[in-house]
Amino acid sequence: MVIKSNSITTYKEFTELADTLRESAALYYSGEGQKMDDATYDSGIISLREASDKNGWSDELLESVAGGQGEGDIEHTMPLLSLDNVFDNEGLEAFFARVAKKAGVKEANIIWAVEPKYDGMALSVQYVNGKLNRIVTRGDGYRGKDVTENAKDASGIPLVLPDGRTDTITVIGEVVMTHEGFDAANIIRVKHNERPFANPRNAVAGSVMSKNRNYKIPMSFFCYGLSSAPEGETHSSTMARLDSLGFLTASDIVGNLTAVGTAEVLAKITNIEENRANFEMDTDGAVVKANDPEVRKTMGEGSRAPHWAIARKFAPDTRQTSLINIAVEVGRTGNLSFTAQLEPVFVGGTTITFASVHNPSVIAEKGLRLPKTSSSAPQQVIVRRAGEVIPQIVGYANEDNLETTIPFVPPTQCPRCCSDLDTSGLIWRCLRGRECGIEEGLRYAVSRDCLDIDGMGLEIVHSLVESGYLNNVADIFELDMQKLLTVERLGDKNAAKILDGIEKAKMLPLPRIITSLGIKGTGRSMSRNIAKQFGSLEAIRSANSSEMCQVEGIGYVKGPSIVEELIELAPILDKLQSLGIGSAGTPPEASQGSSESLNTSSLAGLTVCVTGAMTGPLAGKSRNEVNELIESLGGRASSSVSAKTSFLLTADSESGTGKSKKAADLGVEIVSPEEFGKRYL
């Protein structure tokens, strides 16, 4: 549904649309769900503004809808205005022209600050004598609600400012929820018998405004303004000062904020849109602000929004489409996954045909229904996608299809092996666990980035499982020529090749062994972090949940589940230890010398991102192998480029796309494999 402004011809239609949008916003900001997709909501706001401007109708009514957070009883020290939006570059260029004309400055000479538009909830954070005093919601822009108790624990809100100041300052910003924090929040919610949040912004709003909640939800606060900046201080200087005081700012995400002239601004916005998949949190656009306080003063502010700033919105990340089916699959650990099949819809820059629906309780909670027959009208659902986050269904859009749809009926037995299911937890699982997916698990274990046993394909794994010689990862290391030759059409030569691979696998470093176990949440990079933290298989097995949570990138959501899986894997780990597997501490070799010749601290303190095929001294190495090498040299391997990346290691620095482009935009050094070899090997 798209609302057109020319359809609003009377004040009654204007107020009815405002009521509809306000009800949708109230539901959304309460944390209770979402019944209208972003595209429909945005088009409704545009329609109200156009009708208001054309007919002179209530600006206050419009503001009550667009604000979305209601009023309050705490008066702001300065109005927290909203921003006008544009949805394409043409609208942005028209804004630039207006500013240049009124400010009497050449458009090409105006310095702008370009920041991601945070998809969260606006707050003002007041400090008195350097100590946190009060946190207030935006409300209607002039008054808000005191939410200090709910928001004070958000990352990026220091309780005490380190500069020993004795005045009162108010920092303006947005409280958001990272993707990891959102996953953690929903696990916490379910444990407290509450339904999952629909999305991070919904989760933030519900958490900030909650009453009598006996648990905390992880949130982060990014500031973007200060109520009392010194006279003449530029916006970028203010942000640098706040960054030094311990606040999170846009520079933590995109590096340098400033751009000179239209072309540079458009390039920065394109960079934000193309790379928002790598951000820790959702962003639904970019905010462009005049950096110079004199330009701001000349442009002034309206009752609703400043005239010196604007938001360039990206394509909405929620859309409406049809739910065709819900498929149930079994993973290699025996866990069941539930995936919705959708009528293809373009969301967040890509076409979506599938979306995660988690488990039967979530499916029932969201009220999802399937067509009665192949010709029945399907249910209309709202699909969300932000960056690289797995698409999700956040709700359904109508209730008028009950005659043509039926509730989803979850399986009562394992879809793969027909065994009984454990349905007691959030994740359903086949009671046979890993045994149900043993072949998939073993194929993963022998792959290049795990044990790297060449020649051990699907048919060979299947035959060895069928014969009873292969039941888990540890059994791989007890294979011999006699067992391998029971596989039909496997000759001596290929069997010898497999045995050679197994012998080499016995000497692989600990991270590879951890990865081969297929523990959920421990891919290649996380396995390296675990190995680095504990140093041995025995220490890893002995770690409790609290200790596991301290591993970089794990946190208190993944930690307990990893410990639980390690306990479940105890018999396999016993066998691996008895065979001496996982005790090799030798770092991977560089092509130009053995590990003994490496300077194991040459990359100490550096964060390196690797992309593309390697050349020179790193030729033939996979990205995982190069990452292992980086960490053996004391560095930190990162999967994405950010302002904190020390350098990007790539042989394709001239591509002008992807990580190379982002590195160039952020001023991150690009290093070739050849140069890497000269410096660090």
Catalytic residues: 117
Residue 597 has φ and ψ, to the nearest 5°, of: -90, -5
What the block records as the tokens of 178 is: 């990272």
Q: What are the angstrom distances between the C-alpha of 507 and each of 580, 587, 679?
A: 9, 10, 28
Count other Cβ atoms within 10 Å, centred on residue 177: 30
Given a contact cutoff of 8 angstroms between Cβ atoms, the answer to whether 330 and 365 are in contact is no
The count of C-alpha atoms lying within 13 angstroms of the C-alpha of 296, restricted to the half-sphere facing its C-beta, is: 19
Pick from 382, 372, 375: nearest CA to 407: 372
413 three-class SS? strand
Contact call for residues 518 and 333 (beta carbons, < 8 A): yes
11-29 vs 200-208: helix crossing angle, rounded to 10: 80
Q: Where do the DSSP E strands lie in 32-139? A: 74-75, 85-86, 111-118, 121-128, 131-137
- Strand blocks (E) in 373-427: 379-384, 392-396, 405-407, 421-422
Count of positions (residues) in the chain: 681
| Token pair listed for 588 | 């991977």
Q: How many CB atoms lie within 10 A of CB 129?
A: 12
List the beta bridge partners of residue 301.
306
Buried b (16+ CB within 10 A) or exposed e, 247-282: bbbbbbbbbebbbebbeebbebbebbbebbeebbbb
Spatial CA neighbour of 71 closest among 137, 149, 134, 148: 137
- Please state the φ and ψ torsions of residue 125, each to the nearest 5 degrees: -120, 115
Yes or no: say if 289 and 5 are a contact pair by the CB < 8 Å rule.
no
Query: 90 to each of 86, 96, 97, 262, 287, how far by Cα in Å?
Result: 8, 10, 11, 11, 15
Identity of residue 646: S
Output phi, psi for 676, to 5 deg.
Answer: -60, -45
Q: Residue 322 pairs with which residues in a beta bridge?
A: 380
The rounded distance, in Å, linking the Cα atoms of 473 and 574 is 12
Closest to 628 in 3D by CA, of 485, 506, 524, 495: 524
Query: Judging by DSSP bridges, how do beta strands 636-638 and 607-610 pair with one another?
Result: parallel
The distance in angstroms from the start CA to the end CA of the chain is 59
If you compute the radius of gyration of the chain from its CA atoms, what whole number of angstroms results?
A: 28
Beta bridge partners of 75: 143
478, 581 contact by CB (below 8 A): no
Burial of 285 (0-12, 13-18, 19+ CB in 10 A): buried
